[in-house]
Amino acid sequence: MLLSTKSVCFTGLAALLAGVLISCCLAWAAEDDKKPGEAAGKPDVPVLKTEPAGQPKGDPFAVPDGTPEQLLKFIESLQKMQPENRDKESVIAFLHKAAGAAVKAADKILAGTATKEQKTQAVGAKFGGLALLMRLRDKAAADAIERMPEELTKLGLPEVARDVHAALLQMQLRATVAGEPGAKTVDQVKDAIRAFVADKPDEASAGLVYLAFELFEKSEKTDQVLALCEEYGKVLAKSNDPDIGKLAKLFEGTVRRLKLVGSPMEVQGTMVDGKPFDWAKYKGKVVLVQFWATWCEPCMAELANVEEAYKLYRDRGFEVVGISIDDDRQALDEFLAKKTPPWTVLSDIKEGEGKSKHPTPEFYGVIGVPTMILIGQDGKVVSIDARGPRLAEGLEKLLGPAEKKPAEAKPETPEAKPAS
């Protein structure tokens, strides 16, 4: 991620609360899938036995009267509580009570005389509690979370209000891309993001746009990615923030990559032996440009696929150029020593240096690996996603059907001879 998480750091407590409670729900709900007669057993973590200071005895969800510190400790205690029963009804009831208690405690802090840091923590707890209640189909919670930015502005917390607004839009964006029931349409979310960025192209808005970029790219919504990058690349480029400037360059590169099909591609860099790479030598050949890294498991799976294609087509004019985006040169060298690909590998990182600054991945906005770009004999790109079977399909169109090499004949097993 190019941007820091400073703009949404207040959600840390909220994420922890919601994450713990949701994981509890999944864990205990899974008990229902056990075979009939199988004992459910007791929770691994017992229900909370002791109440925080100032909390009425007997009801662990009763919000105490106390200082902001005591109320924050109460909210923290909710994260450690577990339902006594594992059936779904009990778990859902538990989640409602815990999330509701967190929201009420947070409201008490916000209504009192607390420090800005304490109020920020309370905002995170309230946001997390309301988000969890929304997952439980609580319509009132959905309305309440929508009102939070305006309410926080009135409380004199405009910066926190903007962070909440960004977090709310992030949540809506994730739901939309995932196709969750009742989620807003893509156009509705994009309109909301557009208005948020136009109001102030700061780190919060840049982080929101970057999330949209990531989600659309992962879900292979290429048209949405291209439209987003074209719209916001120029807007973010006006920022004086260096991180936002990097994001703008990433978007510019992504536009280049997404528009590569039918156009030539330029590849620059240094080979792992330190010699300069000569792209002109590949003129007239079918070339696969493979962006990869040693730490990337999908890349390792693709290596086997590329090796098979290379064996079948290398004698017919097929070449591969691997571009490593590794930041650890030692890890790359150790990998290549064990498994040296029969094609050229580029890397600009040297032992002891920092983050890789290879010109080609940056120029084409490559942030995810493996990225596989297939180029025809005329030097024009035919595919920007030549992964898996798409590589074989592309090579067949360019070079004809693969000619499987005959398997090596296995030596015949000698017939058994009778004992003499």
CATH number of the domain where residue 377 is located:
3.40.30.10
Rounded mean pLDDT of the chain? 83
In a domain, 414, yes or no: no
Model confidence pTM above 0.75: no
Sheet with 381-383, side-by-side order of all strands: 344-346, 318-324, 286-292, 371-375, 381-383
In a domain, 318, yes or no: yes
In a domain, 223, yes or no: no
Q: Interior CA angle at 262 toward 260 and 263, to 5°?
A: 55
Backbone dihedral region for residue 269 (phi beyond 0: left; psi -120 to 50: alpha; all else: beta)? left
d(CA 42, CA 85): 8
In a domain, 175, yes or no: no
In a domain, 9, yes or no: yes
229 touches 213 (CB < 8 A): yes
Same domain flag for 148 and 1: yes
Distance of CA 50 to the CA centre of its chain: 39
Residues in the chain: 420
What pLDDT band is residue 39 in, cutting at 50, 70 and 90? very low
Residues 335-357 have a mean pLDDT of 80
Q: Distance between terminal CA atoms of the chain?
A: 75
321 touches 300 (CB < 8 A): no
d(CA 391, CA 288): 9
pLDDT at 35 over 70: no
pLDDT computed for residue 143 by the predictor? 95
Query: 36 or 207: which carries more pLDDT confidence?
Result: 207
| Digit-coded pLDDT (tens) for 70-123 | 999 999 998 888 888 878 888 889 889 999 999 999 999 999 999 999 999 999
In a domain, 255, yes or no: no
Out of 86, 117, 152, pick the residue that ends a domain: 152
pLDDT computed for residue 350 by the predictor? 62
pLDDT at 214 over 60: yes
In a domain, 328, yes or no: yes
325 touches 292 (CB < 8 A): yes
Query: 419 or 220: which carries more pLDDT confidence?
Result: 220
Count CA atoms within 13 Å of residue 272 on its CB side.
Answer: 21
Same domain flag for 1 and 136: yes
Number of domains the chain is built from: 2
Out of 112, 134, 152, pick the residue that ends a domain: 152
In a domain, 407, yes or no: no
Domain range holding 3?
Answer: 1-152
Token couple for 273: 């032996």
Token couple for 179: 């196709």
Token couple for 37: 């007669």
CA-nearest of 138, 197, 157 to 173 is 197
With 0-12 CB in 10 A as exposed, 13-18 as middle and 19+ as buried, what is 226? middle
Work out the number of other CB atoms within 10 angstroms of the CB of residue 382: 19
Q: 117 in helix, strand or coil?
A: helix
Out of 118, 152, 186, pick the residue that ends a domain: 152
